[in-house]
Structure formats: structure tokens, C-alpha cells
């Protein structure tokens, strides 16, 4: 297993309050994608804010359940330098990358706490990073959670400091995991991306066993739900 990259002076920005995150999702139309009203999103954010946080201290991210707001619908809402986000052309099956060994709260929206971009794991492979994160008691972000993070904080994507979201995996028909693992980074406008997409936020993939010096592994300390469960009944934070 490779050694962690030495810590740098990079300080990640604080997440906005949950109420502000809710308004951002409404402004982008995420609530309509998810089949929710604006008032429902505000109510869930308010309920989540009243629940125990999934991590002590710090901000938390408000995310819509991937069943309601898939990556293909969220990716174009990302922006960087005025350029919209996109999914690479050879990832038309992006929405088949679903939570892998991760239990999500059964609520339309949930909290993700203790976010880390995983810069110290740059130049690790997903195969190497996953057991290390597990040993640290951390959970890898889902692709949709990573997109939500960029929606709230576009500056979280920096040249040479982007991230993988290995909490989402695709299972083949025979049950084995696909060797591709999703990531979010900044397009160089080369190849099939097209020069017009240079500097745009990009959802792509990397091989399970490959390393990339410019990709860390986004993770969290936990998740919590609040409000009404998707199947009825109430939910509380963890």
C-alpha cells in the first residue's frame, strides 16, 4: 500500500448552512428532478438540521437519494468558470453505478458528515484506498454525493486536486463488479470531450487497479436521515 501524500496547506471551504444548501438545490431545480416540492426540500433540511449530525462539529452536506436524482440528471447542473458539467461519452450507463456496501437512510434527502477530498491518497488505486478508508472508519462518497458537493461548492474541484467516488460501483449481470470506478475532475478539453468543454466539471471513470496523481478519494464519517421515510414513517439522525 502506498504511503499517504504529505499534508499540504490546502484548507477546504466550509459548507453552507443546510437552509442555504436547500435553497441552492431548489434554484438548480434538483427538487423537480426528485419529484419533490420546494417546501418539502426546505422542510427536510430543517428536520435534518434538528437531528443529531453524522459527524461531530463542522458542516454537513445535504444530498438527495440517488434513486430520486441520478447522476445523469445532476451532472449537467455542475458549473466551473461558466461551463456546465457533463458525463463522458463512454459512461452512458452512469446511473447503474449504485451504492456498494453502503446503507443509505430511507429518506428523500440525507446528511453526509465529515467530508474529506482525500488528497492524501492521491496516486493510490481504488483497490488500495477502499480498505484504508474502512480501517479509518470512513465511508467513500457516492457519485451523486460527490456531485452534490460540487453543486454546493464548485471550488472544491481544483486542478490536480479532484476526487474519486468509489462508494458507487456497477455490478455486471453475473454479479461481479465492473472494473470502472467513477470520479469527478476537470476536463482538459481533449479527445471526445471537445475543446468547448475545457475547464468544465466532468464525471468520468478510472480502472479499479490504476493510480492517478491528481485524484484523491472523497469520503465521509457517516450519514444521517431526518423527516419522513420514503416508504412512510419517521426517521431520525444517527
- What is the pLDDT at residue 195? 96
- What is the pLDDT at residue 234? 43
Which has more pLDDT, 8 or 124? 124
Which has the closest alpha carbon to 117: 237, 3, 7, 238? 7
- What is the pLDDT at residue 11? 67
- What is the pLDDT at residue 9? 42
Confidence of residue 229 (pLDDT cuts 50, 70, 90): low
Phi/psi at 126 (5° precision): -55, -40
- What is the pLDDT at residue 59? 75
- What is the pLDDT at residue 13? 76
Which has more pLDDT, 7 or 229? 229
- What is the pLDDT at residue 139? 97
Mean pLDDT of the region 93-121: 95
| Cell numbers representing residue 108 in the block | 428523500
CA torsion, points 162, 149, 111, 208, in degrees to nearest 10?
Answer: -30
**Residues 193, 88: Cα–Cα separation, whole Å:** 7
- What is the pLDDT at residue 230? 55
Q: Each residue of 169-204: pLDDT tens digit?
A: 999 999 899 999 999 999 999 999 999 999 999 999
**Residues 153, 164: Cα–Cα separation, whole Å:** 16
| Cell numbers representing residue 164 in the block | 474519486
Q: Each residue of 127-172: pLDDT tens digit?
A: 999 999 999 999 999 999 999 999 999 999 999 999 999 999 999 9
Amino acid at each position: 500500500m502506498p504511503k499517504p501524500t504529505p499534508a499540504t496547506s490546502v484548507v477546504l471551504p466550509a459548507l453552507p448552512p443546510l437552509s442555504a444548501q436547500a435553497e441552492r438545490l431548489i434554484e438548480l431545480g434538483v427538487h423537480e428532478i426528485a419529484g419533490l416540492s420546494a417546501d418539502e426540500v426546505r422542510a427536510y433540511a430543517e428536520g435534518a438540521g434538528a437531528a443529531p449530525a453524522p459527524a461531530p462539529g463542522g458542516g454537513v452536506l445535504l444530498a438527495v437519494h440517488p434513486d430520486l436524482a441520478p447522476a445523469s440528471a445532476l451532472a449537467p447542473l455542475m458549473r466551473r468558470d461558466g461551463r456546465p458539467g457533463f458525463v463522458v461519452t463512454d459512461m452512458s450507463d452512469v446511473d447503474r453505478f449504485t451504492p456498494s456496501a453502503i446503507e443509505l437512510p430511507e429518506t428523500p434527502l440525507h446528511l453526509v458528515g465529515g467530508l474529506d477530498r482525500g488528497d492524501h491518497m492521491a496516486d493510490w488505486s481504488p483497490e488500495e484506498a477502499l480498505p484504508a478508508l474502512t480501517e479509518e472508519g470512513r465511508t467513500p462518497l457516492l457519485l451523486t454525493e460527490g456531485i452534490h458537493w460540487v453543486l454546493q461548492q464548485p471550488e472544491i474541484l481544483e486542478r490536480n486536486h479532484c476526487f474519486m467516488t468509489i462508494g458507487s460501483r456497477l455490478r455486471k449481470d453475473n454479479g461481479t463488479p465492473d472494473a470502472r470506478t467513477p470520479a469527478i475532475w476537470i476536463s482538459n478539453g481533449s479527445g471526445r470531450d471537445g475543446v468547448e468543454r475545457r475547464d468544465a466539471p466532468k464525471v468520468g471513470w478510472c480502472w479499479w487497479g490504476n493510480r492517478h496523481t491528481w485524484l484523491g478519494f472523497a469520503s465521509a464519517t457517516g450519514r444521517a436521515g431526518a423527516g419522513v421515510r420514503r416508504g412512510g414513517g419517521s426517521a431520525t439522525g444517527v
